[in-house]
Structure 1
Amino acid sequence: MAKKLILNGLELFLLPQKVVYIPAHEMLVVSDWHIGKLGHFRKAGIFVPPMRLEEEFERLELLLRDLLVKKVVFLGDLFHSDWNYEWDEFQLFLQRFPSLTFTLTLGNHDILPKAILERSLIELKDYLLLPEGIVLSHEPIRQLDKGIYNVVGHLHPGCEVALRGRQYYKLPCFYLEDTTLTLPAFGRWTGLYMVPKRHDNRLFAVVGNDVLELT
């Protein structure tokens, strides 16, 4: 089950697929996919299994089929490093959705040559400002005007959840502190940056098919 947040009057749904859906803008927000990461490791001589690209693409495609979406925003680190064949496969995947627009707010791992990025179907921006006073970017933007929320990625946040029998699990989470909402990484090979629960933040753990707020 999704978790609804209201920021500046705008409804955002935190989905267990580790993305944010904004119905008013028919927008899906995806962060830190790191496509090509395993291929990058293999090129460097590190033995890892190849990324199953169709399985990766299907994760996003299911969301695009189930939700009313006109725009997809990638919050940076879409592709992991320099070019490999996964980038070309990803471009073919995007062609399946000619009615959608795709935007990338550039992240620190988005280092493909500008010429390659500009030939893609993806619009490139440093950040995206919604009319409700919400800025989408890869990393937090310093010194935003008062009352502006910043929706970001970059950290790959995780939290520790205690279950019965003294069992503890480290799980990806959405992380809200002050006016910054940080998304978990959509990529499955990213690791977690553990965020402690404090009185001045809110953590929303991804637990199976649910997003649950920690108390």
Structure 2
Amino acid sequence: MTLEIQINHRDFVLHCSGALYWVEKRMLLISDAHLGKVSHFRKYGSAIPGGAIHKNFLKLNEAVAYFEPESICFLGDLFHSTLNNEWHLFKEWVEGVAIPIVLVAGNHDIISPTKYHDINVTIVSEWSLDGFLLTHHPEERKDFFTLCGHIHPSILLAGKGRQFLKLPCFFRSPHQMILPAFGEFTGTYTMEPAEHDVVYVITKDDVVEIRKSL
């Protein structure tokens, strides 16, 4: 279900939901939840089962219950578009967890900051913390290791008989790590690891480290 790693002498735990837990800070980091996306597409006629709306909240609850964090940081694209009925579910969820929440705004975060402030969610454009840069878009900046999202990274694994399997992943390069999309109803972008990159593949129940030798 989890994999423990170190980045710059700090301890992190990768969860098969796509969440990242920073041990020293007792902080849960989540990227690209895209809440409201299912309702947005259903509004415009897409035949998406209504039950899909609740899967993101179930995943959020599972990750929070597992780690019992003292704070949560969303690395952008928390809500997919404008306000819809999922905002009320999010508001109830925020009230239920009752811990500080920070949103590092992404390109999809177009809801008025006032709405977030009203439910005690803090919004920032980026956040530097103990030598780490928390952003939405990937960025390598001097003297920082970046934790980010946006790309929705995945990796293509080759098996016997010309079989291929595409899986979401945490994609780590020497100076940054891109988190997978947490949201259930999101696409992925296939990454090609270089020599010094490390890929942490997410399966249904586990997180597995894979290096360039794949």
TM-score between the two structures when normalised by the length of structure 1: 0.91
Which residue, 186, 193, 197 being the options, matches 2:189? 193
What are the Cα deviations for residues 110-139 of structure 1, in whole angstroms up to 9, with x where unaligned?
0012332322231111112222x0111111
Letter in 2 for 1:156: H
Letter in 2 for 1:48: I
Kept after mapping to 2: 8 A contact 1:138/1:152: yes
Kept after mapping to 1: 8 A contact 2:33/2:56: no
Letter in 2 for 1:139: H
Identity of matched residues, %: 31
| Structure 2 unaligned spans of 5+ | none
User: Shift of the alpha carbon at 1:200?
Assistant: 3.0
Letter in 2 for 1:145: K
Cα distance in 2 for residues equivalent to 1:117 and 1:65: 23
Number of paired residues?
211
Runs of 4+ in 1 over 6 A off after TM superposition: none
Letter in 2 for 1:126: S
CA RMSD of aligned residues (A): 1.7
What are the Cα deviations for residues 9-50 of structure 1, in whole angstroms up to 9, with x where unaligned?
111111111110111111110000001101111222333333
Cα distance in 2 for residues equivalent to 1:110 and 1:163: 38
Which position in structure 2 is the counterpart of 1:121?
Answer: 120
Kept after mapping to 2: 8 A contact 1:83/1:112: yes
Which position in structure 1 is the counterpart of 2:48?
Answer: 48
Which position in structure 1 is the counterpart of 2:148?
Answer: 152
Which position in structure 2 is the counterpart of 1:202?
Answer: 198
SS of the equivalent of 1:14 reads strand
User: Shift of the alpha carbon at 1:165?
Assistant: 4.9
Kept after mapping to 1: 8 A contact 2:169/2:199: yes
What are the Cα deviations for residues 158-203 of structure 1, in whole angstroms up to 9, with x where unaligned?
0012345543210000101230100000011111100013213211
Which residue, 156, 172, 179 being the options, matches 1:176? 172
TM-score between the two structures when normalised by the length of structure 2: 0.91
Change (3 A) 1:55 1:38: closer
SS of the equivalent of 1:24 reads coil
Kept after mapping to 1: 8 A contact 2:38/2:53: no
